Amino acid sequence: MKLGSKGKEFLLKLSRQTLEEYFIAGKKLEINEKKVAKNLREKRATFVTLFKNNKLRGCIGNILPKFPLYQDVINNTLSAAFSDARFPQLKYDELRSLRIEISILTVPKRIIYDDTEDLLAKIKADEHGIILQSGYFQSTFLPDVWKELSKKEDFLTNLSLKAGLAPNAWKNPETEFFFYTTESFED
């Protein structure tokens, strides 16, 4: 599903309105679903990323589709602003300088691989978001992370660390990987 410019504009405005409503009224934004375009009511997984002065200020999302697209954006906007444990809660005076990026994910697909060399060959840098799963441990990096970690081995090492595992956990043959792509846009 590719969104047109109106759909992207709607979701970005919705994300910003969500934050404004929370700061002004102290509650989650509610909108009449009937006023939302049909394609924005489909269940989709999203990530909402907040930037302040071009630095990460919060990023939360879902890997699997659980809610209608517009509702997932509302939920993840609030979570990125107030529940990302890496950052203090967003303050009202930061709202003006905030840049919002929304990423809509495709449904993840498992990467079947023979060994680490085969795994590396199947991962498309700059295109794939990757999910690492080992037992109860899981982590993901959006495709944007390739800008910071362009070498596949570094990407997977940091993904292992993010999951709370040893740096070389990605080399364990029992570790599972999934890939997805995103349609990302920002205000």
| Residues 27-61: b if buried by 16+ CB within 10 A, e if exposed | eebeeeeeebeeebeeebbbbbbbbbeeeebbbbb
Which CATH superfamily does the domain covering 109-181 fall into? Hypothetical protein ph0010; domain 2 (3.30.1490.150)
Q: What secondary structure does DSSP assign to 45-102, as a single string?
A: EEEEEEEETTEEEEEEE-SS--SBHHHHHHHHHHHHHHT-TTSPPP-GGGGGGEEEEE
Q: Is 58 left (phi over 0), alpha (psi -120 to 50) or beta?
A: left
Residue type, 130: I
DSSP assigned state of 1: -
* Tokens (6 digits) for 132: 């690492």
Residue type, 132: L
Mean pLDDT of the chain: 95
Nearest Cα residue to 123 out of 168, 156, 163: 156
Predicted pLDDT at 1? 62
Q: Does 5-105 match 109-181 in CATH topology?
A: no
Query: Cα 113 from chain centroid?
Result: 25
Phi and psi torsions of 93, nearest 5°: -70, -10
Domain 5-105, CATH class in plain words = alpha beta
pLDDT digits (tens, 9 = 90+) for 88-126: 999 999 999 999 999 999 999 999 999 999 999 999 999
The total of other beta-carbon atoms located within 10 Å of residue 16's CB is 15
pLDDT digits (tens, 9 = 90+) for 69-80: 999 999 999 999
pLDDT digits (tens, 9 = 90+) for 15-63: 999 999 999 999 999 999 998 999 999 999 999 999 999 999 999 999 9
**pTM (predicted TM-score):** 0.89
Domain layout of the chain by residue ranges? 5-105, 109-181
